[in-house]
């Protein structure tokens, strides 16, 4: 049972908007977004990428609308898309109006690029008439010069002020169907800006570290910023901004939410021990082989690969399924209970086969089908490993004694 979502700070209450069929804010599940990298005018290529993103966990996909061919492409993409489509508007308000004509489910406007009050209000009126929400997408890299100078640079206050000014334009025409982002490439600045935004607005917030760069550094930056805020109860929809295939963005966003217990697991979650002095197999190699064999099957379970049967089944008892190594053997376990012992060479194949049966038949059925002699065989292997390697194969006690002596010497 997933509990982590209940252990985080309570989510900040926000208004709720709808991007097509996806609710954002107001207690709705936190949604994952990504953006296509194709030319939007390339309808088939863009749709292929949209479907890839949806399969990887994206709930909403954004496409650029920077010229007329792109807007025309959107008119063909939107009705065939499996998820709501948001149009990203750069400098020309007429492209926003064209995207609305194309039937998009949302707009993203950057206040730093689209600055004329009359044009912004025209877009807001049209969006209001069509029931289409707008994201006010403030970006530290394109902050309005006047706000930059007034606040002495790019500060959390400057970013929030940019969103406030845009909101005031919207309020003048009675438009309130809004979500807000205050992104920066600096993780610390991004966190501070969103904290301030959460105190300032009751609109849903779209989280992201902009221009995070390629993995793995980009993934680390995105996770540091987005994960910190989600743990504090801030955020209603998220996007990783990576210099990579956008499928990696969608997958990372989904995995982050699943790991925090904020979304139900949709795909494989493979965990593995880091190995130790008692490990009887190359844990890294087995884990990599299991990951490669299982991930494309999209099985919604947690699988553990553990280095030994001494502690493995107990340490990973929360996993739906796992395998722990013994002497030239693999011990399959379900929720910590040994169900089968297999030869070492068959560990990965047996793990995959059991994973598929587990998903098809359920936990209780697979526990009922367990080999009755497996637990006793595993216990015998566990005792043999303990006798061979002792109770402290990693020399932890020796290290503890060294630490204590050092402390005593310094006192």
Residue 5: per-residue pLDDT: 61
pLDDT category at 360 given cuts 50, 70, 90 is very high
Residue 275 confidence (pLDDT) above 70: no
Residue 264: per-residue pLDDT: 81
Contact between 241 and 209 under an 8 Å Cβ cutoff? The reply is yes
In the chain, domain spans: 4-259, 269-389
Q: What is the mean pLDDT of residues 395-407?
A: 68
Q: What is the mean pLDDT of residues 85-113?
A: 93
Residue 244: per-residue pLDDT: 94
Mapping DSSP onto H, E and C, the string for the chain reads CCCHHHHCCCCCCCCEEEECCEEEECCCCCEEEEECCCCCCCHHHHHHHHHHHHHHCCCEEEEECCCHHHHHHHHHHHHHCCCCEEEEECCCHHHHHHHHHHCCCEEEECCCCCCCHHHHHHHHHHHHHHCCCEEEEEEHHHCCHHHHHHCCCCCHHHHHHHHHHHHHHHHHCCCCCEEEEEEECCHHHHHHHHHHHHHHCCCCEEECECCCECCCHHHHHHHHHHHHHHHCCCCCEECCCECCCHHHHHHHHHHHHHHCCCCCCCCCEEEECCCCCCCCCCHHHHHHHHHHHHHHHCCCCEEEEECCCCCHHHHCCCCCEEEEEECCEEEEEECCEEEEEEEHHHHHHHHHHHHHHHHHHCHHHHHHCCCCCHHHHHHHHHHHHHHHHCCCCCCHHHHHHHHHHHHHHHC
Identify the CATH number of the domain defined by range 4-259. 3.20.20.20
pLDDT tens, position by position, 285-322: 888 999 999 888 888 888 888 888 887 788 777 789 99
More confident residue, 199 or 81: 199
Residue 274 confidence (pLDDT) above 50: yes
pLDDT category at 407 given cuts 50, 70, 90 is low
Query: Where is average pLDDT lowest: 67-81, 265-279, 331-345, 363-377?
Result: 265-279
Residue 55: per-residue pLDDT: 78
List all residues 6 or more positions away from 271 whose beta carbon is below 8 Å from its beta carbon: 302, 303, 304, 305, 316, 319
Residue 4 confidence (pLDDT) above 70: no
Residue 232 confidence (pLDDT) above 50: yes
Percent of the residues in the chain that have a pLDDT greater than 70, as a whole number: 94
More confident residue, 249 or 265: 249
Residue 116 confidence (pLDDT) above 80: yes
What CATH topology corresponds to 269-389?
A: Sulfite Reductase Hemoprotein; domain 1 (3.30.413)
Residue 400 confidence (pLDDT) above 70: no
pLDDT tens, position by position, 128-185: 999 999 999 999 988 889 999 999 999 999 999 999 999 999 999 999 999 999 999 9
Residue 15: per-residue pLDDT: 97
Residue 343 confidence (pLDDT) above 80: yes
List all residues 6 or more positions away from 368 whose beta carbon is below 8 Å from its beta carbon: none
Residue 378: per-residue pLDDT: 84
Mean pLDDT of the chain: 90
Residue 1: per-residue pLDDT: 40
Find residue 189's DSSP bridge partners.
none
CA-to-CA distance for 336 and 304, rounded, in angstroms? 10
Residue 169: per-residue pLDDT: 97
Residue 241 confidence (pLDDT) above 80: yes
Residue 257 confidence (pLDDT) above 90: yes
pLDDT category at 269 given cuts 50, 70, 90 is confident
CA-to-CA distance for 96 and 65, rounded, in angstroms? 8
Q: What is the mean pLDDT of residues 216-236?
A: 97
């Amino acid at each position: 049972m997933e509990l982590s979502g209940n252990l985080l700070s309570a989510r900040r209450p926000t208004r709720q908007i709808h991007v097509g069929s996806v609710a954002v804010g107001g207690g709705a599940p936190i949604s994952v977004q990504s953006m296509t990298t194709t030319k939007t005018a390339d309808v088939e290529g863009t749709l292929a990428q949209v479907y890839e993103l949806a399969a990887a966990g994206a709930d909403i996909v954004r496409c650029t609308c920077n010229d007329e061919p792109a807007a025309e492409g959107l008119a063909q993409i939107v009705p065939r898309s499996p998820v709501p489509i948001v149009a990203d508007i750069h400098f020309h308000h007429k492209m926003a109006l064209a995207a609305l004509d194309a039937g998009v489910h949302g707009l993203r406007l950057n206040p730093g690029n689209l600055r004329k009050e009359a044009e912004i209000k025209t877009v807001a009126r049209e969006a209001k008439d069509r029931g289409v929400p707008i994201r006010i997408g403030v970006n530290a890299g394109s902050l309005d010069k006047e706000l930059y100078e007034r606040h002495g640079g790019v500060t959390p206050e400057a970013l929030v002020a940019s969103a406030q000014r845009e909101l005031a334009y919207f309020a003048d025409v009675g438009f309130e169907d809004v979500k807000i982002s205050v992104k920066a490439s600096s993780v610390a600045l991004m966190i501070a800006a969103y904290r301030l935004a959460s105190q300032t607005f009751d609109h849903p917030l779209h989280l992201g570290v902009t221009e995070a760069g390629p993995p793995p550094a980009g993934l680390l930056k995105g996770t540091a910023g987005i994960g910190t805020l989600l743990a504090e109860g801030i955020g209603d929809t998220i996007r990783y901004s990576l210099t990579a295939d956008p499928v990696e963005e969608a997958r990372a966003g989904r995995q982050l939410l699943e790991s925090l217990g904020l979304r139900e697991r949709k795909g494989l979650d493979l965990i593995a021990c880091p190995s130790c002095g008692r490990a009887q197999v190359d844990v890294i190699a087995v884990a990599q082989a299991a990951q490669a064999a299982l991930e494309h099957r999209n099985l919604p379970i947690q699988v553990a690969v553990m280095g030994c049967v001494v502690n493995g089944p107990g340490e990973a008892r929360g996993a739906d399924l796992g395998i722990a190594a013994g002497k030239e053997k693999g011990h399959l376990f379900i929720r910590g209970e040994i169900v089968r012992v297999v030869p070492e060479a068959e560990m990965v194949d047996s793990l995959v086969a059991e994973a598929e049966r587990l998903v098809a038949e359920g936990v209780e059925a697979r526990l009922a089908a367990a080999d009755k002699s497996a637990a006793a065989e595993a216990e015998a292997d566990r005792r043999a490993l303990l006798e061979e390697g002792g109770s402290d194969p990693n020399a932890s006690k020796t290290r503890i004694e060294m630490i204590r002596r050092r402390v005593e010497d310094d006192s």
